[in-house]
Amino acid sequence: MPDREKIKRFRVYESLSLGAQNTVSKCLSVKETDLVTLVFDTLAMEAASAIIQEIELVGATYEAFVLESYGERPTMLLPTPIAESLRRANVSIYGVTPMCGEYDHRAEIFSIVKQARLRHAHMLSLSSHTLIVGMAADYGKIRALNEWIIGKLKRAEKVQIKSFTGTDVVVTPHTEYKLHNIAGIITEDHWHNLPNGEVVFHPRSISGTYVCDGHLPMSMADRTPGLERAPLELHFEDNVLARLEGGPPGVASQLNKKMETGQNLNRVGAVSIGTNYEIRSWTGNIVIDGYSPSAFLMLGYAGDLFELPWNTYATLHFIGRRTSLLVDDEPIITAGRFAESDLEKL
């Protein structure tokens, strides 16, 4: 296969090996009997080469594709050879930096993944940095860490989210809804984004101020660099977003217009606690930072995680840097880090 050799020309650095091993063996549980379909783009070549090396060490059969081999990007529709390979496979990895106009081909991939019950890793914006930083953790340990946190949240009377930049939120988990342990351990029934690591819950109540100084919603990603100088403040009263203040020029007014057009976009659908403990510094890449040890807010639609009595048409993610998490006044995360003593107990 031409694309296989095209990828394998890239040198595999030792620093990528652990992340590739965790991807292939820990998260996807690839075995010698598996057939793996790999879809990459030209930006992912170094990481792709490391992943292929790991698959070859396991002894699995694989088919590798580079998206640009099938025409100029953006790739509107899924190329037929890739679709046919996915239908033959039982494991798949999609490691592509998304472009505007490519939603349809990704939707077709998800349709095949669901129909064929593939163990699927969705690795948007895959790069060497993804493997070195985002995939370095022991994902079995992340799952145990998530269970430890969920146990505390189920008994919690008060959960606080704080930061040095001014975040001061009090939230109560709604324990009638499932508290989700999302640890990147992929099965035939559940595909996952990689990197990963989070606990997600629906709040019964929320009040206070959340300072978004990390990442804005994906539709406003081009405005994110201005957050460090001009953080956006989200003020919550009576369980809804009451007002927005600050932020890069025009961001608050743009978000207010979204709120006006979408009923329930001012409600918090979910709170996410990032638990990928090996993400120890801010990367500027939302695919990695979104799982770093901190607490993040998801306004509006919460996906298929919760069957809420209300709905809306969109999801707005707000990510603050290095927040702290306290459960009934016990520090769980402090300024974006778990205590080493807590990690050692797992």
Domain regions of the chain by residue span? 2-133, 137-344
> Dihedrals φ, ψ of 117, to 5°?
55, 50
pTM of the model: 0.94
* HEC profile of 256-309: HHHHHHCCCCCEEEEEEEECCCCCCCCCCCHHHHCCCCCEEEEEECCCCCCCCC
pLDDT at 84: 97
In degrees, rounded to 5, the angle at the alpha carbon of residue 125 between the alpha carbons of residues 121 and 128 is 90
Pick from 204, 192, 198: nearest CA to 157: 204
Q: Which residues contact 190 (CB under 8 A, 6 or more apart)?
A: none
Average pLDDT over residues 44-58: 97
Q: Give Cβ neighbours of residue 311 (< 8 Å, ≥ 6 apart).
A: 264, 301
pLDDT tens, position by position, 230-258: 999 999 998 899 999 999 999 999 998 88
For residue 262, is pLDDT > 80?
no
Pairing between strand 268-274 and 295-300? antiparallel
pLDDT tens digits, one per residue of 274-285: 999 999 999 999
Q: Domain 2-133 falls in which CATH fold?
A: Thermophilic metalloprotease-like (3.40.1830)
DSSP letter for each residue of 244-257: EEE-STTHHHHHHH
Q: Of 220-234, 285-299, 310-324, which range is least confident?
A: 220-234
Confidence of residue 1 (pLDDT cuts 50, 70, 90): low
Strand order in the sheet with 330-334: 240-246, 232-237, 203-212, 168-173, 159-162, 324-327, 330-334, 337-338
Q: Reduce the DSSP state of residue 327 to 3 states and report it.
A: strand
Phi, psi for 14 (deg, rounded to 5): -60, -30
